[in-house]
Each structure stands twice: as structure tokens, then as C-alpha cells.
């Protein structure tokens, strides 16, 4: 099957003078190949990247709330977590049996309105 494909392609190359001329031109460097691709830098943005830094348009003030003094309970998807003050970092590094529980933690599903 592979030999049949090879013979068919070679027959097309022999019978088509335009294809043959183009292929020989590519092999001998008459026509250069495609330019090297640079990831995340499309050619149509050549003179526009990198963008300059922009200043923020809004001024947000820090909330004047105190951190919790006692344990708090978070209702995650199918699981309830009780946190003591200072255990916040450990919450995001722990593993859960169900991936939906972890996703509900990261999408802030435990926040109440």
C-alpha cells in the first residue's frame, strides 16, 4: 500500500511540469520557505508589540475588616471545610477526593452574597 502511494505521487510529479518546477525550485533555494514562526508574536502585530504599560483607571481602597478570630466553615461542593485562623494557605494546597470540591474552592463557590 505504501509503495502504491509512492508510485502514484511520483507519477504525479513526473506528469506535472509546474509541480516539478516548483519542487526543484524549493530544493535548490530559488523560492525560500516560510519564515520561522515565533510563538505569540503574529506577523500582523510586528510594529505593535510589546505593549506599553498602562496605569489603572480605578482606585480601590482596602477594606477595613479584621481577619476572623475564630474558626470559619466553608460550604464546598459536597464537602464542608472548617478553618482556624491562619490555615488559609494550607486550604489551597490540600487535595480533595472529588475534583468538583477543589473547583468549587477555586471559583469561590463558598462565598455568600
The answer to whether the beta carbons of residues 67 and 103 sit under 8 Å apart is no
Residues 6+ apart with CB under 8 A from 101: 76, 77, 78, 79
- Tens of pLDDT, residues 24-66: 999 998 988 887 777 777 778 888 877 888 887 888 888 788 8
Confidence band, pLDDT 50/70/90 cuts, at residue 113: low
**pTM for the full model?**
0.41
Instruction: Give 89-108 pLDDT, tens digit per residue.
Output: 888 888 888 889 889 888 88
Residue in 31, 90, 66 with CA at minimum distance from that of residue 23: 31
Amino acid at each position: 500500500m505504501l509503495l502504491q502511494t509512492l508510485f502514484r505521487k511520483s507519477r504525479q510529479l513526473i506528469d506535472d511540469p509546474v509541480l516539478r518546477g516548483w519542487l526543484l525550485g524549493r530544493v535548490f533555494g530559488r523560492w525560500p520557505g516560510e519564515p520561522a514562526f515565533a510563538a505569540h508574536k503574529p506577523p500582523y502585530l510586528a510594529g505593535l508589540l510589546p505593549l506599553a504599560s498602562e496605569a489603572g483607571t480605578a482606585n480601590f481602597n482596602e477594606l477595613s475588616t479584621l481577619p476572623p478570630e475564630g474558626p470559619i466553615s466553608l460550604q464546598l461542593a459536597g464537602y464542608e471545610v472548617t478553618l482556624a485562623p491562619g490555615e488559609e494557605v494550607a486550604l489551597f494546597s490540600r487535595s480533595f477526593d472529588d475534583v468538583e470540591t477543589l473547583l468549587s474552592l477555586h471559583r469561590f463557590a463558598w462565598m455568600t452574597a
